[in-house]
Amino acid sequence: MTDLALPLRERWRRLSGNSRGAVWMIASGLVFTVMAIGIKLLGHRLDSLQIGFFRVVVGFAAILPFVARAGWSQIRTRHLHVHLIRAVFGLMAMYCSYYAIARIPLADYTALSFTKPLFATFLAIVILHEVVRWRRWTATAVGFLGVIVMVRPGAGTFQPAALAALVEAFSIAFLVTLVKRLPARETTTGMLFHFGLFASILSIGPAIYAWQWPTTLEWLLLIAVGILGAMAQSFWIRSFRCGDASVVAPFDYLRLLFTGVVGFAVFAELPTAWTLLGAGVIIGSTLYIAHREMQLARGKAGRGV
């Protein structure tokens, strides 16, 4: 270890949990944006079912050395059924996102993906049995109005890929809600291992159905997407493990800036006024929801709840 690495590690340890969580979330957004470039290039010819298979298999292989070093104690679980459900919904989210990324501008896809907190409001009632008051309901309704502004159903501009992006957002919201129900002893390494194992098995059949033999460049891109996907997922999980969700989640909105710049620079995609307006409404409503959740959490802590 170099002398330079020592103070950097020490500085990292001195950061608050929320600060570390914010850094992990920003890193996740950057890695995802690079991965999206590969997915969009691959999606011109290969099916999302095939891309998804390589994403989970290569990602699973990439984490195995870390699993071996961590040991069995870090991946042992009593909740295999929960991890299986995570794999099913994770694959559905993956297929939908890859389909959407290949067919609509990156900024549009990213803005629609920010509807996760809106779907999480409904899932918090159904799964976590939370009480949702009128202010959060109002913010959720406003957020979905932003979705309508973006996709404009009936205007002749609606695309099935936009619906796929919304299905992906719902699936991710379900996964986040599910992770909240897992006990703290479930490690990041364990969650990545079980997701990779189950998802690899489940994705074999769809990949065979949609198989096209990749070119040399596509092989390289598929491997890169798999590695980057595992990195982005690991960083995302770490962000929520390090910090409060209400604090670190807003940093995910930087992805809209990242993908907007990349979409324009690499694919000559220019967001429309409807995209910017709808994205603004969605982001504003989800930020308000995060703010209300933080206020309620502080109120409960103050009352000793």
Average pLDDT of the chain to the nearest whole number: 83
pLDDT score, position 266: 92
Tell me how far the alpha carbon of residue 284 is from its chain's centroid. 19
- CA pair distance 261, 179, nearest whole angstrom: 32
Residues 140-143: contacts with CB under 8 Å, at least 24 apart: 140/285, 140/289, 142/281, 142/284, 142/285, 143/115, 143/117, 143/118, 143/281, 143/282, 143/285, 143/286, 143/289
Q: Is 184 exposed, middle or buried (0-12, 13-18, 19+ CB in 10 A)?
A: exposed
- CA-wise closest residue to 111 among 281, 288, 291: 281
Tell me how far the alpha carbon of residue 147 is from its chain's centroid. 18
pLDDT score, position 88: 93
Report the range of poorest mean pLDDT among 124-133, 245-254, 290-299. 290-299
Report the range of poorest mean pLDDT among 82-96, 233-247, 260-274. 233-247
pLDDT tens digits along 106-144: 988 988 988 887 888 778 777 767 766 777 778 888 888
The three-state secondary structure class of 152 is coil
Question: At residue 139, what is the residue type?
Answer: A
Confidence of residue 68 (pLDDT cuts 50, 70, 90): confident
pLDDT above 80: residue 6: no
pLDDT score, position 305: 45
pLDDT above 80: residue 219: yes
pLDDT score, position 57: 92
pLDDT above 60: residue 15: yes
